[in-house]
Structure 1
Amino acid sequence: MTPPPPPRPDLAPDADLEREEMETMQREIAAAATFEDDFSFDPDSLSNPLEASTSGAEPPVVAGVDQSFLVDAEPERALSAVVAMRAGEVVERVHAVTPLEIPYVPGLLAFREGGPILAALAELSVEPDLLLFDGSGRIHFRQAGIATHVGVVRDVPSIGVAKSLLCGRPLEDTENLPVGTRVPIEANGRVDAPAGTLLGYAVQTRQYDSPDRSINPLYVSPGHRVGPETAADAALSLAAAYKLPEPVRLADAYADEAKREVDS
């Protein structure tokens, strides 16, 4: 069955564009994005799915997205993995293998990996209510990281969960934070937004008990149709046992598993 066209096919990543054209498209993506809550599910159901179920509301489908790479292939290919979960249980796993058309350029990740991700999402039989990406959302030079780009193209609420800070300025120290701490990340001169714009949060989902070791926070930002506070809440709620939110962690593991199958 052919999937329906995405709501904004005109903004789908195009690796044939020149860099200036890519950056122009990203500004269009940011202008089209909604960086506030605009979804139908109860956000409390992310941390308390049983309560949502007994109240009669169906828990949302939350899909984690991650990638692995077949670097020995010619041409180099991306394996995009998606793990869809509902009420803490995996309901579907899909992946797609597609060529990588351009090298990695900081700030232009969606033009390298967005097409492969869209191909994997097209394989899903369930419709995700929320997408979580191993990558940035609004914490991006032009406020259009991969979570924003794909979220706008598909018109699905989305969140970016990055392991390092691409740009922006933390308002407080982010070293050795207690679990549950969130530090605002605001726009600075490296971001195409007014200074002081709230881009997202550094969120401490896990921490060692020992004072001699520490775990770095995640940099969580809205992608599309999610506000920064809800994005941070979701990252904390879904990272119950590990640093990464469970849908993203499982997508990462599935990407490696599927890669081994493709290589064998």
Structure 2
Amino acid sequence: MSQPRPDLAPDPGLSRAEMETLQRDIADIAVFEDDFAFDPDALSNPLAAAASGDEQPIIVGVDQSFLTNADGEQDRALSAVVATRGGEVIERVHAVTGLEIPYIPGLLSFREGGPILAALEELSVDPELILFDGSGRIHFRQAGIATHMGVVRDVPSIGVAKSLLCGRPREDTDDLPAGSRVAIEANTRVDAPDGTLIGYAVQTRQYDSPNRHINPLYVSSGHRVGSETAAEIVLELATSYKLPEPVRLADTYADEAKREFNQ
């Protein structure tokens, strides 16, 4: 994969102020609306793809794991990338690189973005959509890791986070039924006008029990995918589990690849 905007790649050597300025620049460049060539209905429906005369798109999931040194400190990131087409895995690659800075809320891409870009370089196929385990537009400066990576690669991307970094739900998100979604809007913690739609809480699965419940995923545009379409795609790809399948497969592969280093 090429990098159309290598000048925007995350540099962990920047100061915090410079990192935040770069994120604002990325948010200005990012496209938070649909701008892709594939039919979303073709993601899991080969008949829809055949009707349009196209192959099903290549969807990539990205997740991270971490390796520790002899002192038990996390010093390397293992970035796992799984490419799928029509629900079938067509390629799996990973890369291991050093971690240069600690985790800082809102600056995740400067810690993990370099390892992710290194792993994406290993792919022999060209993704038509990338799903990241992390935020996109639901971010203090509207430039989470899915937005940052999506803009650097200029590839449609979606952020799929397990917790809400910022913003506020427009409705209660407790014990939502499967298939539902609740809009997430900007609040004073987000560099956007108050009330701006920045993503959705998406309930992909739910227990059929009054005593247990599954929390929603927080889905947002990364780049070149609108908020509504992002939510629909995640629901479509969460076939059997809470996570959309490409991200779940990347998570599983990250654990598998990590075991090679722990033997």
Per the normalisation by structure 2, the TM-score is: 0.97
2:59 corresponds to which residue?
A: 62
1:254 corresponds to which residue?
A: 253
Q: CA deviation at 1:54?
A: 5.1
Q: CA deviation at 1:55?
A: 4.1
Matched, 1:173 2:172: yes
Matched, 1:23 2:16: no
Contact 1:95 1:123 in 2 (8 A): yes
Q: 1:75 to 1:183 in 2, by over 3 A?
A: closer
Cα distance in 2 for partners of 1:217, 1:236 equals: 11
CA deviations 1:239-262 (Å, max 9, x no partner) are: 010000000000000000000012
* Aligned ranges 1:235-254 → 2 under 5 Å: 235-254=234-253
Contact 2:44 2:87 in 1 (8 A): no
Matched, 1:152 2:151: yes
* Aligned ranges 1:91-110 → 2 under 5 Å: 91-110=90-109
Q: The residue matched to 1:76 in structure 2 has which SS?
A: strand
Contact 1:128 1:156 in 2 (8 A): yes
Cα distance in 1 for partners of 2:154, 2:204 equals: 27
Cα distance in 2 for partners of 1:249, 1:30 equals: 27
2:140 corresponds to which residue?
A: 141
Cα distance in 2 for partners of 1:114, 1:76 equals: 15
Cα distance in 1 for partners of 2:57, 2:65 equals: 26
1:220 corresponds to which residue?
A: 219
2:76 corresponds to which residue?
A: 77
Q: The residue matched to 2:220 in structure 1 has which SS?
A: strand
* Aligned ranges 1:91-130 → 2 under 5 Å: 91-130=90-129
Contact 1:38 1:157 in 2 (8 A): yes
Matched, 1:45 2:42: yes
Cα distance in 1 for partners of 2:26, 2:232 equals: 24
1:86 corresponds to which residue?
A: 85
Cα distance in 1 for partners of 2:83, 2:147 equals: 19
CA deviations 1:144-165 (Å, max 9, x no partner) are: 0000000000000000000000
Cα distance in 2 for partners of 1:10, 1:56 equals: 37
Contact 1:49 1:88 in 2 (8 A): no
Structure 1 segments of 4+ aligned residues over 4 angstroms from their partners: none
2:4 corresponds to which residue?
A: 7
Q: CA deviation at 1:48?
A: 1.6
Q: Which amino acid aligns with 1:127?
A: D
Q: CA deviation at 1:56?
A: 2.0
Q: CA deviation at 1:47?
A: 3.4
Q: Which amino acid aligns with 1:40?
A: A
Contact 1:75 1:99 in 2 (8 A): no
Cα distance in 2 for partners of 1:113, 1:96 equals: 11
CA deviations 1:3-56 (Å, max 9, x no partner) are: 54x111111000000000000000001001000000000011123234313542
Q: CA deviation at 1:223?
A: 0.1
Cα distance in 2 for partners of 1:149, 1:220 equals: 15
Q: CA deviation at 1:75?
A: 7.2
Percent of counterpart pairs with the same letter? 77
Contact 2:35 2:156 in 1 (8 A): yes
Q: Which amino acid aligns with 1:175?
A: D
Cα distance in 1 for partners of 2:50, 2:107 equals: 40
Per the normalisation by structure 1, the TM-score is: 0.97
